[in-house]
Amino acid sequence: MTDHPAPTDPRTASAVIDLGALRANLAAIGALVAPARVMLVVKANAYGHGMLPIARAARRAGIEWLGVATPQEAAALRADGDTGRVLAWLYGEDTELAPHVAAGIDLTAHRPAQLARLAAAARATGSTARVHLKADTGLHRNGARPEDWAALCAAAAEAETDGLIEVVGIWSHFASADSPEDPSIADQQAAYERAGRIAHEHGLRPPIRHLANSAGALATPGSRLDLVRIGIAGYGVDPADGKLAADAGLDLAPVMRLRAQLVAVKPLLAGESVSYGQTWTARTDTVVGLVPLGYADGVPVAASNVASARVGDRLAPIRGRVCMDQLVIDLGAGATERPGDEVVLFGAPEGPRAEDWARETGTIGYEILTRVSGRVPRVIMEEPDV
């Protein structure tokens, strides 16, 4: 028995991961933000793309920094042979930090108690903990609040003097970077600069400052600083529904293409309904196709009757309710498709893109990508020789 879902036959349905598109996106973003460096965020299985192949491709593309949420994700990178810089920023009170400190993984701290744990881990392993202090500048998730920041800096300076930690970076995170005119952006930049001055007053000289996520990197040049944390944009999805990349002069290419073969094609007569609840009824005779992907594979039920898939050179709307393992598309009267023909739900160069599905289903592109489940095989399309 296994705890992991048995994957679908990749010929029947798969998420095709285009490493050439990833390389092109990273190159374009890197040129835009230079001289700032790019951290590719590979948390959540690289936004659903497959963390290990994406990380390897990023390193081949010259990416010095990778970002993950948890130390366990960072440890998986180390187990795969990755020896480069990795930052992890989310861990609990019971997380054993010593192995991660010994492995040279950079870790975040936003409370003195976390610094004490990191210092203890360093002492136990004979290592120096590489630490990024996080300031809460307005997102109000983790990060030290302004009234607590000086105490955090004082504790960090003491631990650094003792040789137990090295404060590598100071960072924060935008709340509304996808809305470049939002006044909170300037407020957070100012709060970040104040945090930097206080750290300096406590004798800290971190070499890396980082504030910008994908949206900030694209739309707010002043936030790029030394390092930008690129997540969704690296995977070819605009963080603001197509608005920011184009304004920055970038043509991002989708890295994931969710595709499947038709497994059935059949007529549907006028007046007949399709799928559970009979939520769609044909007004005229048509032809429908059965696609072997459903909400167990990550297709949102909200796509029912609103999203479309690409079949050849045209779009075919989803008809009726998305089921656990399958959905139905309207191929149109006189359709000539047969079982085995390919359908692309999103990620085709001509569309639909993940942004389209997000808009139509009332969510964000991040969720469309990350919800593609482990039952869907990832098929890696290797980079062309360069």
Cα 129 to chain centroid distance, Å, stands at 26
With vertex at residue 16, the alpha carbon angle to CA 12 and CA 18, rounded to the nearest 5 degrees, is: 160
Catalytic residue, candidates 192, 235, 276, 295 = 276
Number of C-alpha atoms within 13 angstroms, CB side, residue 234?
28
Euclidean distance between CA atoms 323 and 300, whole angstroms: 9
Q: Is the peptide bond before 180 cis (omega within 30 degrees of 0)?
A: no
Q: Is 276 a catalytic residue?
A: yes
Helix (H) or strand (E) holding 209: strand 208-210
Euclidean distance between CA atoms 58 and 313, whole angstroms: 32
- CA pseudo-torsion sign 134, 139, 144, 150: positive
- Tell me the backbone φ, ψ of residue 136, rounded to 5 degrees: -85, 105
Euclidean distance between CA atoms 66 and 87, whole angstroms: 6
The residues, any chain, with a CB within 8 Å of residue 1's CB and separated by 6 or more, are none
- Determine if residue 39 is labeled as part of a ligand binding site: no
Q: Is 43 a catalytic residue?
A: yes
* Alpha-helical runs (H) found in the chain: 19-33, 43-47, 51-60, 71-79, 98-102, 112-125, 146-161, 183-201, 214-219, 244-247, 354-361, 365-370
Contact yes or no for 343/310 (Cβ under 8 A):
yes
Euclidean distance between CA atoms 367 and 350, whole angstroms: 21
Euclidean distance between CA atoms 161 and 158, whole angstroms: 5
Catalytic residue, candidates 43, 47, 192, 235 = 43
- Determine if residue 117 is labeled as part of a ligand binding site: no
Annotated binding site: 141, 324
Annotated binding site for substrate: 141, 324
Which of the residues are catalytic?
43, 276
